[in-house]
Chain A
Amino acid sequence: MRFSLGKWLLPLYAALALVFLLIPIVYTFVFSFNASVKSNIVWVGFTLDNWLNVCKAQGVCAAFGTSILVGVVATLVATALGTLMAIALARYRFKARSAISLLLFLPMATPEIVLGAGLAAQFLSAGIPKGLGTIIIAHALFCLSFVVVTVKARVASLDPALEEAGRDLYGSPAQVFWKITFPLLLPGITAAALLSFALSFDDFIITRFNNGGVETFPVFVYTAAAKGMPPEANVIASAVFLFALVLVIISQTTAAARRKRLAKIG
């Protein structure tokens, strides 16, 4: 390729785009060390106090705890239901298959506000009081489609010969599933669970319509945005960011190591 344009311009453009993506992250991180009193807008001075006493700001830690709880339960529900659906869709041929795929695609193509308002309208007409339960129901719903898509890709790339070998060796269907299929699907299921936790943890729009006064972390941030953001919110966001980053780096390095090992065997 004789791309003189691509020689310098393209890498520069890509680097600038990445810097652009990182600006607000760096800003949030830096301002988590701000010794601000009321609102975290003007830089006052450096302090570690916000990091050492995160729960000092009223409601931050409770909201964080609620978000974790909602994320874990919604992820469990969505991953369980979604994995079963993914296996069925990738492994079996039946008439309604494309209709079901469309049904699973629709929640991803629906704007969050319509999902949120729809659920809220339903809870209203059914007389169900909004609270922790309704948040979890809503979160598991929008995570479900993403779980199915992620796990389905994994099931589709699975070599059926491995399961056949298990059956040939007189493994019972349950043994074949738990000893062969499930371990092979596990990376896909884990990825799906992490994705749905991340989606749930950061969701605001759908939560806003169905929380009924219960404060998740994004709801806390939204309320605080109007009346002054405590720097402790930046601390929690930065800590979550660093944690997720470490997780990604670990998973990528282990994946790279596994590829290397496989390359050696091959």
Chain B
Amino acid sequence: MAFAAFGSNANPVEQAPRRKSWIAWVLLVPGLAYLALFFLTPFVSLILTSFQEPVEFGDVGQFQAAFKWENYTAVIQQYWPHFLRAFGYAIAATFFALLISYPLAYFIGVKARRWPLLQALMLTLVIAPFFISFLLRTLAWKQLMSDDAPLVTALKQLTILPADGHLTGTAFSVIFGLTYNFIPFMTLPIYTTLERLDTRYIEAGSDLYASPATTFWKVTVPLSMPGIVSGTLLTFIPASGDYINASASFLGSAQTQMVGNVIEANFLGLLNYPAASALSVLLMAIILVIVAVYVKRSGTEDLL
């Protein structure tokens, strides 16, 4: 899996430099041209579109080049709650996914080493959700949490949920869905670092009379930090831009809309391309800042 490579900063064999670097450029040019044409230029288009203004007396969806920076203040004023929700939900989902994934990855990567077959089986089960449609998985949760599902009835009988309460359409169900959908992205990178963890370090910790908890926090966690950083990024970034879980036809409602939902609504529904573009640029900018600060603070710059 790509995540294995993504999660590791190991460069197995540093090979001798080759002099014929023109060959490298011949190999690189087609891919670079593709990225320039369909990755970098779209960014420029997005920024240009975000400053456009409506054509005077034009139809809906007709815009012309301009430098209308008010588009940004307008979307911030109108949609700041959506930004808060997007990042709030994404942070919560990242936290819960880590809580579920770390012990799972630890078991597969360290405890199950003695049984390679069990290890392989468990890894297959971790990636199994990738093989079934993301949308259908989310819909399955919607149905399992719907108002007349046994789960909701049981929760109501236990008075955990008030009689008129719902599970779907709430912040809970959206965070739940995001957590579920990104667990494999969290588990795999953590697994790849823990799998290489030398257990003699843990033994050394207990030999030096450290409690298991101290050994865990002072030895195991720091050694698995590259995996934790990759996993949290692979969860946080897509989760903050997601709009499926929060959409009303899946696990959300009008009260749980995230930035992704309003980008989609503005771009594809209202045909307000400048607003959708301004929102996208803001989302990307905030994510880049958060990721840069996070990577700096966790001291794993060399990962990038």
Contacts and interface: CB of A to CB of B under 8 A. Distances in A.
B45 A118 contact: yes
Interface string B239-253: 011111000011000
Contact of B21 (A93, A118, A146, A238): A93
- Overall SS of chain B's interface: helix
Given A122-B42, A122-B45, A125-B45, A117 B125 contact: no
A13 B103 contact: yes
Given A24-B137, A114-B280, A94 B24 contact: yes
A111 B31 contact: no
Given A27-B144, A100-B28, A226-B249, A248 B124 contact: yes
A28 B137 contact: yes
B222 to A, nearest CB: 18
Contacts of B107: 10-11, 13-14
A72 interface: no
B74 interface: no
B132 A28 contact: yes
Interface of B: 1-2, 4-6, 11-13, 15-18, 20-21, 23-25, 27-28, 30-32, 34-35, 38-43, 45-46, 48-49, 100-101, 103-104, 106-108, 111, 116, 120, 122, 124-141, 143-144, 146, 180, 183-184, 199, 202-203, 206, 212, 233, 237-238, 240-244, 249-250, 260, 263-264, 267-268, 273, 276-277, 280, 283-284, 287-288, 291, 304
A237 B136 contact: yes
A5 B212 CA distance: 9
Contacts of B6: 108, 149
B42 A221 contact: no
Contacts of A244: 130-131
Contacts of B120: 252, 256
A11 B120 CA distance: 15
A262 interface: no
A91 B233 contact: no
Contacts of A195: 1-2
Nearest to B284: A114
A18 B131 contact: no
B277 A121 contact: yes
Contacts of A93: 17-18, 21
A241 B107 CA distance: 25
B81 to A, nearest CB: 18
Chain A, interface SS category? helix
A229 interface: yes
29 contacts: A6-B111, A10-B103, A14-B107, A17-B101, A17-B104, A20-B183, A24-B140, A24-B144, A28-B132, A28-B133, A84-B31, A88-B27, A92-B23, A93-B17, A107-B35, A110-B284, A111-B237, A112-B241, A113-B263, A122-B46, A141-B38, A144-B34, A148-B31, A152-B5, A202-B134, A204-B134, A204-B135, A209-B267, A229-B139
A150 B34 CA distance: 19
A178 interface: no
Interface in A191-215: 191-192, 195, 198, 202, 204-205, 208-209
A27 B107 CA distance: 26
A150 to B, nearest CB: 5
A244 to B, nearest CB: 4
A33 interface: no
Contacts of B131: 198, 240-241, 244-245
Contacts of A112: 238, 241
